[in-house]
Amino acid sequence: MEVIVSSFNLLPSPSKFLQTTIHMGSLSVSGTNPPPRFHGLLRKSSALRFSARHSCLEVRRVSYRPPGTQQNLLNDISFTLQEKSFGLIFGRSGSGKTTLLQLLAGLAKPTSGSIYFQSHRSDGNVNSLPESLSSERVGIVFQFPERYFLADTVLEEVTFGWPRQKADFAMRQQLALNLQYAINSAGLNTISLDEDPHSLSGGYKRRLALAIQLVQKPDLLLLDEPLAGLDWKARADVVKLLKHLKKELTLLVGTIGFG
């Protein structure tokens, strides 16, 4: 099994792209090029350097063995991803990318190791105790997310998981703000919210899938093969959208590799 995790600082730097390669529990660092279809998202960076307080997603020695089996799907995975940056996991099919994303989303628990957020002071030292990575702080968009649409309209799809009981004014106001943020951030403000989700183009279906997660205001957004099955124009549109979102969120994308 081979999983390659690459993280990219938002600050421009003349240094080469930094890649952390995780292979059967061994860790090494080398310069390389990311998959071409994600070039528009990446700014090259050297080892992370900070001049202000910041938080990082920390994955430490995580292994995972499915219940009832004798073989690990993931072995001794470790990496750090700075807040409001873009991370890329790429490797061949079956290498464990989706499993890793599911662990980060809280859909399964690691067999061993830990996953948490860590705050740091401007001098790089830790600022507080680690914070657990609760599922409320994480959004995940699965591969071909349109297969899981359930509602009859875009609006109903975005608000599907909202509380159905009568909310007080403060909650209604917050929900309205979250909805506006999600619709605008995902670029759905140019279509009718009464449209049938299944009638949308491939690119807009992916936008809708993003909006469903953004309405929860996550700190970390995980995407499994977000460009799969899209034509070149739709791919370019989604990459442009992710380029905008990485200014506000921590993004981690799993992809099958190059091309």
What is the reported pLDDT for 212?
96
What's residue 62's pLDDT?
A: 94
Residues 6+ apart with CB under 8 A from 77: 3, 5, 22, 59, 61, 62, 63, 100, 113
pLDDT at 203: 93
Taking CA atoms, 230 is separated from 170, 196, 204, 224, in Å, by: 40, 19, 10, 14
- According to the model, what pLDDT value does residue 41 have? 60
Q: What pLDDT was estimated at residue 131?
A: 83
Q: List, for residues 114-152, the tens digit of each pLDDT value.
A: 999 888 666 666 677 778 888 888 999 999 999 999 999
| pLDDT means over runs of 10, the chain (259 residues) | 47 32 34 54 46 76 93 90 86 86 95 89 69 87 94 94 69 88 94 96 95 94 94 92 90 77
150-171 residues labelled b (16+ CB within 10 A) or e (exposed): eeeebbebbbeeeeeeeeeeee
**CATH homologous superfamily for the domain 2-255:** P-loop containing nucleotide triphosphate hydrolases (3.40.50.300)
Q: What is the pLDDT of residue 95?
A: 82
pLDDT confidence of residue 22: 39
In the chain the first and final C-alpha atoms are separated, in Å, by 20
Query: Would you state the pLDDT for residue 138?
Result: 95
Supply the pLDDT for residue 44: 45
Burial group, residue 192, by CB count within 10 angstroms (0-12, 13-18, 19+): exposed
Structure tokens at 70: 């004798």
pLDDT computed for residue 220 by the predictor: 94
For residue 161, the model assigns a pLDDT of: 76
| Three-class secondary structure assignment of the chain | CEEEEEEECCCCCCCCCEEEEEECCEEEEEECCCCHHHHHHCCCCCCCCCCCCEEEEEEEEEEECCCCCCCCCEEEEEEEEECCCEEEEECCCCCCHHHHHHHHCCCCCCCEEEEEEEEECCCCCECCCCEECCHHHEEEECCCHHHHCCCCCHHHHHCCCCCCCCCCHHHHHHHHHHHHHHHHHCCCCCCCCCCCHHHCCHHHHHHHHHHHHHCCCCCEEEEECCCCCCCHHHHHHHHHHHHHHCCCCEEEEEECCCC
What length does the chain have? 259
